[in-house]
Amino acid sequence: MKTCSFRFHDQDFIARPSGALFWPERGALIVADLHLGKSGRMARHGGALLPPFETRATLERLAAELHDTGAASLICLGDSFDDDAAIMELGAEREMLEQICQHHDTLWITGNHDPAPYGLPGKVADQQQIAGLHLRHIAETGPDISGHYHPKLRLAGQRLPAFLIGDAHLILPAFGAYTGGLDHDAPALAALVPRGRAIVAGRDVHMVPLPLPRIIASRAGRWSAKR
């Protein structure tokens, strides 16, 4: 499997095809926007009944990433649950999640969907500073590492999750299974990372410069996630 190493404010990081970020020096795996329990929330609100397997799929992928990187700690950058009720509805997956949290030093950053993931092992904070970098859900004053926007980038006809790496902000793609995304050049994202690099995830990782050279502007500003 190909991964891609890069530096951000004097720290080395490894972008992984799964959309997870590994921080070797800290032994930490950072993921954003797990959106566990999304299908349940949609069902509750009378929406489409999506296959109720995404929580399991996401947790299986997360466990595999922790195993492959040998990470000692796990940092979730918010919107880990699709809403508060999603934590209550975890069912059989709760055990999987508790296993993960018990074996890894877990930090839950709160997001806009899940103000407080109570009742699970680990520490809860609305933000945290490590090595001069702020870890938070939504990018503010940098340098920070955040999630929230679910950045996507179109490359060779595919629309893929992407890490955006600018001067002040490092923005992670969503790790959850049923998450749509916002194009990297949508106004909100282009304002945060006007230039720099993007690492496209998916089956492999590929680094591209930002803004994309000679790009014909895509129709920006579309969320595919139901919010």
Which positions lie near other proteins, rule CB under 8 A? 1-7, 14, 39-40, 43-54, 56-57, 68, 91, 154-159, 177-178, 180, 197, 200, 202-209, 212-219, 222-224, 226
Cβ(142)–Cβ(167) under 8 Å? yes
**Residue among 128 and 159 whose Cβ is closer to other proteins:** 159
Shortest distance (Å) from residue 160 CB to other proteins: 8
User: What would the DSSP string read from start to end of 60-75?
Assistant: HHHHHHHHHHT-SEEE
Q: How, if at all, do strands 127-130 and 206-210 pair?
A: unpaired
**Residue among 17 and 122 whose Cβ is closer to other proteins:** 17
**Residue among 53 and 118 whose Cβ is closer to other proteins:** 53
Shortest distance (Å) from residue 92 CB to other proteins: 9
Shortest distance (Å) from residue 153 CB to other proteins: 10
Cβ(29)–Cβ(105) under 8 Å? no
Cβ(171)–Cβ(161) under 8 Å? no
- Give the sign of the dihedral formed by CA 91, CA 85, CA 22, CA 103: negative
Shortest distance (Å) from residue 211 CB to other proteins: 9
